[in-house]
Amino acid sequence: MQVEISKSHICVGLKHNFLYRGDIDSLKSLMSFYDINMGVQNIFPKYVSMGILRKKIAKAIAYRTDAHCISRSLSLQIHEDINRLELYIYLDGYIQGFNSANQANALEKEALKYYNSKDLANKKYLFQFKNLNREIRTFKKRLRSELIKRERKSEKVLATVYEFSNKIIKDKTYSLNKYVDRQLELDRDGINPASVMIPREDLKIIYKETFKFILNTCTNLYIDAYWNGLNERVLKRYR
């Protein structure tokens, strides 16, 4: 028991160092730990397009002439932070799915309807990246609903996103006036800055929109990662 607790503390420390300090060595050590102790290797997170966030922010402050300039400046400031958070969430979801024995039993039962043991032993992926038949789509949809209900009760992803956003994203958002490259436009009085400083009310709107985007992205990412980890767990039984 003490060994397991020690291992858990090590993982928590490594993930924290990577997430909040950007320590790549901690990430490498964490991945090595998962590989050695769990045999987990097929981890390929999908990163969200920052272009989507830029559009959402620009739309939220469309009344400003420099809306696109502001959204672009913020995305440049936080894209690496969001990438780290996404990887953190993905790893958490993947490992949770990988460790879900009951769900793996249910998915294995479905898999054996389509593949024999030899097929499964030779497969690199199960149902992660291919078009799914109706039964598997139903299974995945049911799992997604269950995970969403579980998240609403535990608020695990929400807590992680809130803490990270409050510590990292919020400060960068409210410091946008330091970063926005101001363009010039010709008006009746000559060449003047295209806009005034971003007021706090606008910064609140920007931060709220950014937080909503990150939370939605991370919730979906966690569910996708859980599914991928679950599929990997089934295949590990035949390798």
Could you report the per-residue pLDDT of 146-190, keeping only the tens digit for each? 999 999 999 999 999 999 999 999 999 999 998 876 543 434 444
* Count of alpha carbons within 13 angstroms of residue 101, beta-carbon side: 0
Look at residues 85, 103, 96, 98 and name the one whose alpha carbon lies nearest to residue 48. 85
For the stretch 12-55, pLDDT in tens is: 899 999 999 999 999 999 888 888 777 776 777 777 778 999 99
Cβ neighbour number for residue 64 with a 10 Å cutoff: 16
* Count of alpha carbons within 13 angstroms of residue 81, beta-carbon side: 21
Contact by Cβ (8 Å): 181, 195: no
pLDDT at res. 46: 75
For the cut 90, the answer to whether the pLDDT of residue 76 exceeds it is yes
User: Whole-model pTM?
Assistant: 0.88
Binned at pLDDT 50, 70 and 90, residue 87 comes out as very high
pLDDT at res. 182: 54
Distance CA 41, CA 32 (A): 9
Distance CA 69, CA 156 (A): 34
For the cut 70, the answer to whether the pLDDT of residue 130 exceeds it is yes
Contact by Cβ (8 Å): 77, 205: no
pLDDT at res. 188: 40
pLDDT at res. 5: 36
pLDDT at res. 81: 96
The residue that leads in pLDDT, 57 or 2, is 57
For the cut 80, the answer to whether the pLDDT of residue 107 exceeds it is yes
Burial class (CB in 10 A: 0-12, 13-18, 19+), 63: exposed
Please give the distance of CA 186 from its chain centroid, rounded to a whole number: 42
pLDDT at res. 10: 82
pLDDT at res. 7: 56
Question: What is the rounded average pLDDT for all residues in the chain?
Answer: 88
